[in-house]
Structure 1
């Protein structure tokens, strides 16, 4: 029973912390500088997650030749930059990663 109440409480806290700002800010017009800044939030978050996964393994910096994620991520970055196509970027990065694992391992 305590586990159920804990999960319910966590859900309620999560819901309320998102509802309150949306409720009060939903009626106001945000300044232009704020909207321009918010455009970069998804890119910054995705970069933070990706760089951590690509450059670190088991809590250590992994930039050696045995890190197959690094060249795959570089290729995916180039494909994203040149094409702007998310699906093509994912496919290119995953194919490069899988091929490196098969060919080098």
Structure 2
């Protein structure tokens, strides 16, 4: 079933306006005001929460294997978590996890 072009463009434009509105509310309306300390404290953890939220579905239920256990992805997740906890360096954790994933995919086929 194909979606007609008019509906597609309505959805694209609507999502663009919605995305702009969400960003504008935070930066345009609140951007020049001092935020409370409790909010700033919580915002520090946003980046830490986003990466696991993006990666966890691919580890727990990988689409490439129809949800079956996948040793390369689990190994990469464990290595990433370990390096991140040991070094407290996000870039080192990401790079080590990527290297582990591609290395395991190469070794296991």
TM-score bin (small chain): 0.7 to 0.9
Give the equivalent residue in structure 2 for 1:98. Answer: 102
Say if 2:79 is the partner of 1:75.
yes
The total of aligned residue pairs comes to 102
Deviations 1:57-92 (A, max 9, x none): 2363x4x4x431001111121112222333332332
TM-score, length basis structure 1 = 0.73
Q: When the two structures are superposed, what TM-score results if normalisation uses the length of structure 2?
A: 0.70
Gaps of 5+ in 1: none
Structure 2 gaps, min length 5: none
Q: Report the RMSD for the aligned CA atoms in angstroms.
A: 2.5
CA distance 1:96–1:20, change in 2 (3 Å)? closer
In the TM superposition, residue 36 of structure 1 has moved relative to its aligned partner by 0.7
**Residue matched to 2:19:** 14
